[in-house]
Structure formats: C-alpha cells, structure tokens
Amino acid sequence: MEFLRKTGAVARRELSRIARQPMYVVLLLVMPLVSFVFFALLFNKGVARDIPIAILDEDHTALSRKVAQMIEDTPTALVAYDLQDMEQGERLMREGKIMAIVHIPDFFEKNILSNRQTRIENYVSGTNITVNGLLSKDIQTAVTTFTAGVQIQLLTKQGLTERQAMAQLMPVRFSRHVLFNPYINYSYYLSPSFMPMMLLIFVVLVTIFSIGSELKYATAREWLRTADDSIWAALLGKTLPIALTMFLLSLAMLLIIFKVVGTPLNGSLTVILLGTLLFILSYQSISVLIVSLMANMRLSLSLGGGYSVLAFTFSGLTFPVMAMWPAMRAVSKLFPFTYYTDIFVDQMLRGAPVRCSLPDLGCLALFVVLPLLCMPRLRQVCTEEKFWGRL
C-alpha cells in the first residue's frame, strides 16, 4: 500500500513533467502518430503496378507482337519503349528509365511455325531485388502461357484433342497454394515490420529522455525523494505513464495495420496484445539499463538510438535470419524485436497455434526482467552528484 502511494506520487510528478516539456509530448504522442500515418499512406497502394520495361523485337511478326502484348498485359510490367537495338536499351536502363529488356530474336515466328526451337531472353536489372522478383515472375508467366498456347496448336494439328494435348505438354501440373498471404501483397510483409519498428524507436528514446533529463538537469534527487528513496517506486512511477501511453499508441497501430492496411488477422489477438505489451516493456527495460550504465543522456540516446535502429535488419523479416552467418544469427537473438516479429507473423498471417508463440513470449519476458539487475547502479547514479549535468 505504501509502495503504491509512492509510485503514485512519482507518476503524478511525471505527468506534470510531461505537461511542462513540449519535447516530451512530441516524442510520446505526436511523432509516433505521424510515423504511423506515414506508413499507412505509404502502404495504401499495396502492390507495385506498371513497372516500365522495354522490348527489343527483331522479328516484327504477328507472333512476336503477341508475346509483347501478353507481357504488356501482366499486372507489373508496362512496355514503355520499343527498342531499335540493345545499346539503346542499356542506356535507358542506366538512365533508370526501365527495369528490364525483353529480347525477341529474328526468325521467331518462322522457327515456331516450322517446329524448330527459338528463344526469348529477358534481361532484368538486379539492383532492386523486389522489382526484379515481381518482373521475373510475371514475364516468365506470360512467356510460359504463350509457349503453352503454341504447343497446344502444334499438338492439335497432329490430331490430339485439347485435353490430350494438355496432358501431353504438361504431364506434371502443380496446383499452387500460397499460404497465409494469398495475394502475395508486399505491404502485408512490410506494415507489421515498420510500424512496430517506429514504436520501439520512440519507446527507447522517450524512456531514456525521461530518466536522462533528470540527470542532465540535476533533478534526480528530487525524483528519488518523491518516491521516499524507493528506487523501485521511482522507476515504476516514471515508466508506467510512458508504458501506458505507448500501449494505447500500439492499439492505434494495430488498428491501422488491420483496418487501414487490411492485413489479415488469422491467429490470436490476445497473444498479439500480450506480446505488444511485453515488447514495449522489454525496450523500456533495456533503455533503463543503458541510461544507468552511461549516466549521460546524450550518450545514452546515441547508443539506445543506434541499438533500436539495428533491430530491423536482424529481425529477419526482409533478409531471413536463417540465411545469415552463424555469428549474425546469434546477434539477432539480442533484439526483442526479433521475437516480436515472430509472434506477429505467427499470429497475424499464419494463424499458428498459441503454443508456437509461447517461447517468443518467454524470451520477451526475459528482456523485461534481466536488465533490471542494474537497479543498484541506477540508485547510485541518481544519488551521486558527479553523474549530473553532463552534456
């Protein structure tokens, strides 16, 4: 009861600090919301359409034009240039105007009609893997469809029925089942990664700022005194209002992800909410550790900021952790964000059973508890004047 009273006193003091410092409000509310809105707008379109490419048609026949038309009809490719020669295509690519060149050689139609093999070459820029993936897939599909049409004509000319011809030209057919993200929507991958990323950056910055500013402006003793010298009450009273605000913000974030971006929710919302809460608390804990060890607001902000920005790369959402070097795989375990994104993918897209997320929740809980071993150091930093007023 006594502890609660002390915590309440610190929390009240913190609320008045928040009200007095515009920067505090900006970090706690304005910036996170601005960043969420940015990503909601960015992912609004969802899929990339009409990426410009060029076609070098040396054949100029009905069949070569048909291939070109089929490529044009794909959702991602837009035939922006008809090339005269390859040099022109290379220059356009270096100028950034096209992302791929499709080459249809001379005698294309003649070869097909006389039952001889011919070729189609596709040169796709590899400088943007995402665009490369979309274009490669769609152009390949277009050419395969065209080829199948040619084969059916050849075979029906030989007297087969269309059904027999199909079985002949494609003896093994595959039926594709895309799990969990059936539209292969790129924003479904990205929205659950970027918005929590923004959330964690602000959790780290605002937590370090809230404690670091007590040191910078030498108010740490007053802070402790409000808590009757109980370091736990002091810390709890300070971090709780922040945690609560951030959790409310995360609800807004989830609302944007599920309702505005339209990402499916196939699993347990309870696990996601619990994970989000632990995620926020774990980054608060780590921030407390950093600021206790450094005892310097600016240095702590630099370190905490640096640490929080790195989380994205190591989460494996874009470049899978599985593909990293073993040492880097170990490093990826040092970021709560990695576990959080696993929970997100499992419960949002995959609809995995709850038991799959339990280890991740456990790891997040460890990140909440372990950094708090630094409490004696925090008390020391808050009581000894030599740690105060540093730049």
Partner 1 sequence: MSRLSKQLKSYGQQFASVVRNEYRAIFTDDGALLILVFALIIYATVYSLAYGSQVLRNVPIGVVDECRTPTSRSLIDTFDAGPNTYVAYEPTDMAEAERMFYDRDIYGIVYIPDDYEKRLYGGEQAVVAIYCDASYFLMYRQVFQELVTSIGATGAMVEFQRLIAKGANIPQAQATTQPVIYQSHNLFNPYLGYGTFVMPAVILLIIQQTLLIGIGMIGGTWREHGLYHRLCPAGRRRMSTLPIVVGRSLVYASIYAVTCTYILGLHYRLFHYPMKGDTGVLLLFMAVYLAACITLSIAVSTLFRKRENSLLLLLWTSIPLLMLSGVSFPREGIPDWLFSLGQIVPSSHGVNGFIRIQSMGASLSEVFDEIKALCILTVVYGGLACIGTHQVISRELNQRTGAN
Using CB under 8 A as the binding rule, the residues of this chain from 80 to 99 that contact partner 1 are 91, 93-96
- Min. distance of Cβ 249 from partner 1 in angstroms? 13
Per DSSP, 158 falls in state T
For residue 116, how many other CB atoms are within 10 A of its CB?
Answer: 9
- Per CB under 8 A, does 320 bind partner 1? yes
Residue 72 to residue 139: CA distance in whole angstroms:
9
Listed ranges 3-11, 53-61, 124-132, 251-259: which one lies at the site for partner 1 (CB under 8 A): 124-132
By beta-carbon proximity to partner 1, the closer residue of 47 and 244 is 47
Listed ranges 204-212, 220-228, 247-255, 372-380: which one lies at the site for partner 1 (CB under 8 A): 204-212
CA 119 to each of CA 106, 148, 199, 347: distance values in angstroms, whole numbers, following the listed order: 10, 14, 51, 45
Number of residues that bind partner 1 (CB under 8 A): 118
Residue 148 to residue 89: CA distance in whole angstroms:
28
Per the DSSP assignment, residues forming a β-bridge with 100 are: 124
By beta-carbon proximity to partner 1, the closer residue of 204 and 236 is 204
SS3 for 80? strand
- Per CB under 8 A, does 305 bind partner 1? yes
**Terminal CA-CA length for the chain:** 38
- Per CB under 8 A, does 159 bind partner 1? no
Listed ranges 10-18, 176-184, 254-262, 362-370: which one lies at the site for partner 1 (CB under 8 A): 176-184
Listed ranges 54-62, 271-279, 306-314, 367-375: which one lies at the site for partner 1 (CB under 8 A): 306-314
Q: Which of 62, 159, 176, 386 binds partner 1 (CB under 8 A)?
A: 176
Supply the DSSP string of 323-352, one letter for each residue: GS-HHHHHHHTT-HHHHHHHHHIIIIII--
- Per CB under 8 A, does 156 bind partner 1? no
Position 358, amino acid: L
By beta-carbon proximity to partner 1, the closer residue of 1 and 322 is 322
- Per CB under 8 A, does 219 bind partner 1? no
Site for partner 1 in 222-281 (CB under 8 A): none
By beta-carbon proximity to partner 1, the closer residue of 226 and 287 is 287
Q: Which of 162, 269, 270, 319 binds partner 1 (CB under 8 A)?
A: 319
Listed ranges 8-16, 161-169, 275-283, 287-295: which one lies at the site for partner 1 (CB under 8 A): 161-169
Q: Which of 313, 334, 365, 374 binds partner 1 (CB under 8 A)?
A: 313
- Per CB under 8 A, does 207 bind partner 1? no
For residue 292, how many other CB atoms are within 10 A of its CB?
Answer: 23
Query: In the chain, what is the greatest distance between 2 CA atoms, to the nearest angstrom?
Result: 96
Q: Which of 140, 161, 380, 383 binds partner 1 (CB under 8 A)?
A: 140
Burial of 382: CB neighbours in 10 Å, binned 0-12, 13-18, 19+: buried
The torsion angle over the Cα atoms of residues 288, 289, 295 and 301, rounded to 10 degrees, is -70
Burial of 143: CB neighbours in 10 Å, binned 0-12, 13-18, 19+: middle
- Min. distance of Cβ 301 from partner 1 in angstroms? 5
- Per CB under 8 A, does 389 bind partner 1? no
- Per CB under 8 A, does 298 bind partner 1? yes
CB 115, CB 151: distance < 8 Å:
no
Q: Which of 16, 87, 117, 385 binds partner 1 (CB under 8 A)?
A: 117
Position 271, amino acid: V
Site string for partner 1, 20-39 (x = CB under 8 A): ---x--xx---x---x--xx
Nearest CA-CA partner of 384 in 253, 244, 220, 228: 220
* Phi and psi at residue 390, to the nearest 5°: -70, 155
Site for partner 1 in 333-362 (CB under 8 A): 345-346, 349-350, 352-353, 356
